[in-house]
Structure 1
Amino acid sequence: MTSVPADLALLTTEEMGRADRLTIDGGIPGTTLMENAGRAVADAILARYPAQATLVLCGPGNNGGDGWVVARRLKQAGFDVACSALAPVAALRGDAAVMAARWNGPVLPFEPAALDGRTLIVDALFGAGLARDLDSAVLRMIEAVGEGRRVVAVDLPSGVNGDDGTIRGGAFTADLSVTFFRAKPGHLLYPGRARTGQLVVADIGISPSVLESIDPKAARNGPALFARHFPVLRQDGHKYDRGHTVTLSGGALHTGAARLAARAALRIGSGLVSTIGDAEAARVIAAHQTAVMVAEVDGPAGLALFLSDRRRNAAVIGPAAGVGDTTFAHCRMALAAGCACVFDADALTSAAGRADILWRERTADLVLTPHDGEFARLFPQLSGLPSRAARAVAAAKESGAVVVLKGADCCIAAPDGRIAINDNAPPTLATAGSGDVLAGMIGGLLAQHMPAFEAAAAAVWLHGAAAEGFGRGLIAEDLVERLPIALQIAENHLRGRGQAG
């Protein structure tokens, strides 16, 4: 078994190289893989674009070798094709040299003049394997391509780092990227994701069985990732079987965030939900909530007493709770109670500079849900890492918690190195209260006994699914009310895999 579902696995450039080598060692020649890759790119182009004047930019390695195949196959299909080689054809070695020798069309100097009259550009320069900044000749070509031409990238737009999505000095912006066997993290992580365009993952003859040897840790987030642990509604089930989520409110003027989290926990299936706060806050909460219960709780000691009932098995601490020692004490009391915890918003800022205390006192599942600013305060030594995925993985290993690093390319990381990159979140999710809803969703799934990594991944995916299709004007309250739609979408996925009860 691999650490992640085979159909969602993402491969680093090193892991993709191992997949190639394992396949070649298994008896499939490298030239066959290259021919298959070039054919896949050409087929994707033929399915989308009419015949037109095309320039294929070929690099010095295997990505360039794929490009020579693309050129040959497009020419056979009736395209007017020329190639422009970054390195002299005579200097090519290995499989790339074999494919270049099969090209019988024009080879133009690698300079912007080669673009004249060409409306479709195939970028086969470097792909995901680039490990240095682009040189000036390539940067001039990128600038000359501009915005008036269609660009198809072979594997990944040249200039985008396949492992972390960073830009190496500059990069092509593709309309279409065709990668092979499995996508790379750089396809899903910003800023690389913005350069990728439509992504096609093509089968080129590499058996999925090689994943058993590679054991990738990164995955695209989706229902298959959390299918085995997703709560099943049993015919003989009872609300007490589905856990009890507790959300802690701030003061009387700051109850809304906890109420959003509580309703989200209820909507996602927590059998019982309570929102708790001091006397003034409890009166405000009681005026707004019906199915969610309300309790007056006085300070950290009161929280400890409330959570001493072990049926209250999940707690969400932080949304509008206030920053300071009291919120930090609430976090410690929740950890001491042994319930699964979600620490969000003010809980994270309150822990800045002393978070190691929480890591030591953790006795059950803990999920942290920072945005970039909160992450920088909580993990200042990690905030300079190059990608959201790298930061999330490092923070999970340091804290022993599951870390949900929020953003357009939200990353969910586990202490064992697993990382899920989410890509279904529309920009409308950038609205007040959206994060409070997410925290409540995670808490509600933890209450239903989902493991922390799977609960966080499921909540993030469902969060995006609830927002999709709504359009402009989405507010946090809408997200909560659309959760039944998202849950049905997830259940349909799971039924299709034979995993829903």
Structure 2
Amino acid sequence: MSGPLEMLVTPQEMGRIDHAAAASGIDSYALMRAAGTAVAARLLARFPHVERVAVLCGPGNNGGDGYVAARACAQAGVPVVVHSLGDPAKLEGDARHAFDDAGMQPQALADYHPQGGDVVVDALFGAGLSRAIEGEAADCIDRIGEAATPVVAIDLPSGVGGDSGAVLGTALQAVETVTFFARKPGHLLMPGRDLCGTLSVVDIGIPARYASLADSRVVENTPALWQHVFPHAQAAGHKFARGHLGVFSGPMSATGAARLSAEAGLTAGAGLVTVASSGQALAVNAAHLTAVMVKRVDTLEDVRDFASDNRMKAFVLGPGFGVGAKVRDYALALRENALVLDADGITAFAEERPALAEAFSAGDTRLVVTPHAGEFARLFPDFVPEEGRSKLDAARLAAAAINAIVVFKGSDTVIAAPDGRAAINTNAPPWLATAGAGDVLSGITGGLLSQSMPAFEAAAAAVWLHGEAARHAGPGMTADDLPQALARVQRDGLFADRRFDGSAGRTS
């Protein structure tokens, strides 16, 4: 499947696509042969001196792919053993055809014990698994893990949920995963993304038009999603044309978070940024800021006056601000404006979510909330990811509940809109998990909102740029390094060379 936006396909949708392709007259067994042969080719390319291939076949079509792969490896002159889960004589359809063509007598799965030099082909369950693995399959997976035997997985490592990326009981760690037609959410959501190893998407002959049978609103977060509305400075423009962002500061002992947000917003392109500070913290903020302005804001009336200036385009509230009625009052006073609500601002509405939802219920989506897992659980306890609900599902439910863009942060940040659009981000390096990084993300988001970028695209772009800046800064970076790294990302031409070709964050 090709195109600038590569959507993600759930296992259920993939089933419909397979069925529709077969119903149209496409030879489904030819597709299986193409799949299994592609797996064998990837294995032999990666392990050209493999001593033995152990193919573990399940009772469905994933197992059928495995029998094809086993035959292809044997034809290449590699020793092959096959172990089956269940009685292969009970296989039906294409899987039975593949078993018959392979001409191999499988041993029981319980009898597989890894040997030195083995490479395992995991053809047990694939993406359609919906319950925890147990019994002999779980025991076999554990033996493979203990032996650290390399695994090439078909579709998804067994034990990884195709919808959620969650581990269902136990799961194999693959060095490579080969999937077909399109990626599933479980390929991008953690821990599934890590368990997949290197991911390859292989074209086995299903026409791209069948993508119309899937929900095209769920994609990976790449620049192809938002580049068409990304703001660029115009030759005849001026600072107010690029937007004015307001960032609310916390008390004197907690001003740093707001300054991080403010600097990030300025770097993201806002023409002006003003830190709204209490009189108590005014001197501290003024002493540390140069290009960012400072304004005294002590009361709710001051907030309303600040927001009434039609040159103010967006606000950031919450980083270092403190939890309580004051932050709720400020947020509700900004209900007509674009607002990024983060950190303390999220926690403050834990018991008052209906008020937040009501305030931003009308009109275009203009509220962006950016919770990490703990904050998400406080604001959306009814949507917390759990068995049967993925992080993707949780974020989409939360977004619809409060008519906001929800940025559910983490190594697999999900950006969700009330209308069901969602994007999963993959380019964040592990060293981005550092104090203050979230404050920078809020500032980038606010800076893009201030330039009138639509809220969903602004949040998605901010998350991607945040990750790219961290990658550019490298290990050992701190949150203070991120705005400067973001400026370098733009100045060094990565905008044209890496972002807008949609390639960053892709797997190979």
Tell me whether 1:26 sits opposite 2:24 in the alignment: yes
| Alpha-carbon offset, residue 359 of structure 1 | 1.2
The SS at the match of 1:209 is helix
Give the conservation status (yes or no) of the 8 Å contact 1:67–1:124.
yes
Equivalent residue number for residue 484 of structure 1: 487
Q: Shift of residue 118 of structure 1?
A: 5.4
In the other structure, the counterpart of 1:455 is 458
The amino acid of 1:45's aligned partner reads L
CA distance in 2, matches of 1:494, 1:233: 17
Number of the residue aligned with 1:12:
10
RMSD across aligned C-alpha pairs, in angstroms?
A: 2.0
**Does residue 1:419 correspond to 2:422, yes or no?**
yes
1:154-177 CA-to-partner distances (Å, cap 9, x unmatched) read 000111110011222111111111
Q: Distance in 1 between matches of 2:242 and 2:209?
A: 37
What residue in structure 2 maps to residue 342 of structure 1? 340
**In 1, Cα distance between the equivalents of 2:408 and 2:104?**
49
Contact 1:54 1:79 in 2 (8 A): yes
CA apart distance, 1:469: 4.6
Going from structure 1 to structure 2, the CA distance change for 1:253 and 1:135 (only over 3 Å counts) comes to closer
**C-alpha distance after superposition, 1:113-151 (max 9, x if no partner):** 454455100000110011222230101111221243111
Q: 1:78 Cα shift?
A: 2.3
Task: Report the CA distance between 1:5 and its aligned residue.
Answer: 6.9
Residue 377 (str. 1) matches residue 382 (str. 2): no
Conserved in 2, the CA contact under 8 Å of 1:60 and 1:87? yes
- Change over 3 Å in CA distance of 1:479–1:176 after alignment to 2: same
Partner of 1:445: 448
Q: 2:100: which partner in 1?
A: 101
Aligned to 2:180: 180
The equivalences for 1:353-372 within 5 A come to 353-362=351-360, 363=362, 365-372=366-373
Could you say what secondary structure the match of 1:133 adopts? Answer: coil
Cα displacement (A) at 1:325: 0.7
- 1:436 aligns with 439
Q: Would the alpha carbon gap of residues 247 and 408 (structure 1) be closer, same or farther in structure 2, given more than 3 Å must change?
A: same
* Deviations 1:249-290, CA, capped at 9 Å, x for gaps: 011221111110010001011111111111232221111111
Instruction: Note the C-alpha offset of 1:214.
Output: 2.4
Which residue of structure 1 aligns with residue 47 of structure 2? 49
Distance 1:47 1:343, change over 3 A: same
Q: Report the Cα distance in structure 1 between the residues aligned to 2:502 and 2:222, rounded to whole angstroms.
A: 12
Partner of 1:39: 37
Give the equivalent residue in structure 2 for 1:81.
80
Structure 1 residue aligned with 2:270: 270
Question: For each residue in 1:472-494, what CA deviation from the matched residue of structure 2 results, as whole angstroms up to 9, or x when unmatched?
Answer: 32100111110023344343345
Indicate the residue corresponding to 2:333 in structure 1: 333
Task: Provide the C-alpha distance between the structure 1 equivalents of 2:36 and 2:226, rounded to a whole number of angstroms.
Answer: 34
Q: CA deviation at 1:384?
A: 4.9
In the alignment, what sits opposite 1:219? 219
Query: Contact 1:54–1:80 at 8 Å: present in 2 too?
Result: yes
Distance 2:332 2:29 in 1: 59
Contact 1:8 1:222 in 2 (8 A): no
Partner of 1:110: 109
Could you state the TM-score of these two structures normalised by the residue count of structure 2?
A: 0.93
Provide closer, same or farther for how the CA distance between residues 432 and 416 of structure 1 changes in structure 2, counting only shifts above 3 A: same
What is the rounded CA distance, in whole Å, between the counterparts of 2:101 and 2:463 in structure 1? 48
SS at match of 2:55: strand
Task: Kindly state the Cα deviation for residue 296 of structure 1 after the two structures are TM-superposed.
Answer: 1.1
Instruction: Give 1:201 deviation, angstroms.
Output: 1.2
Correspondence for 2:409 among 406, 411, 419: 406
Q: Note the alpha carbon deviations across 1:42-84, whole angstroms, 9 max, x for none.
A: 2211221123211000111110111111111112222111211
Bigger mean CA deviation after superposition, 153-162 or 382-391: 382-391
* Cα distance in 2, alignment partners of residues 469 and 38 from structure 1: 38
- Count of residue pairs brought into register by the alignment: 494
Separation of aligned partners in 2, 1:102 and 1:256: 67
TM-score computed with the length of structure 1 as normaliser: 0.94
The residue type paired with residue 292 of structure 1 is V
Q: How far has the Cα of 1:106 moved from its partner?
A: 4.7
Maintained 8 Å contact 1:299/1:326: no
Distance 1:376 1:496 in 2: 36
* 2:350 counterpart SS class: coil
Work out whether residues 63 and 124 of structure 1, in 8 Å CA contact, stay in contact via their aligned partners in 2. yes
How far does the alpha carbon of each residue in 1:432-462 deviate from its partner, in whole angstroms, 9 at most, with x for none?
Answer: 1000000000001111111111111111111
CA deviations 1:202-261 (Å, max 9, x no partner) are 111122222223233321111111122111333333222211111000112211111100
Matched, 1:470 2:469: no
Match of 2:297 in 1: 297
Q: Name 1:128's counterpart in structure 2.
A: 127
Instruction: Write out per-residue CA displacement over residues 358-405 of structure 1, whole angstroms, 9 at most, x where no aligned residue.
Output: 211115510000111111111122225433222211110111100001
Residues 430-439 or 358-367, more deviating: 358-367
CA distance in 1, matches of 2:502, 2:264: 26
Residues 473, 482 of structure 2: 8 Å contact kept: no
Q: Distance in 1 between matches of 2:172 and 2:367?
A: 40
Consecutive unaligned residues of structure 1, counting only runs of 5 or more, are none
Work out whether residues 5 and 224 of structure 1, in 8 Å CA contact, stay in contact via their aligned partners in 2: no
SS at match of 2:341: strand
Closer/same/farther in 2, CA of residues 388 and 214 from structure 1, 3 Å limit:
closer
- Percent identity, aligned pairs only? 46
Asked if structure 1 preserves the Cα contact closer than 8 Å seen for 2:277 and 2:296, the reply is yes
Partner-residue secondary structure (3-state), 1:326? helix
- Aligned-residue offset at 1:6: 6.0
Q: List alignment gaps of at least 5 residues for structure 2.
A: 504-508
* Alpha-carbon contact 1:299-1:330 (below 8 Å) kept: no
1:56 and 1:83 in contact (8 A); partners too: yes
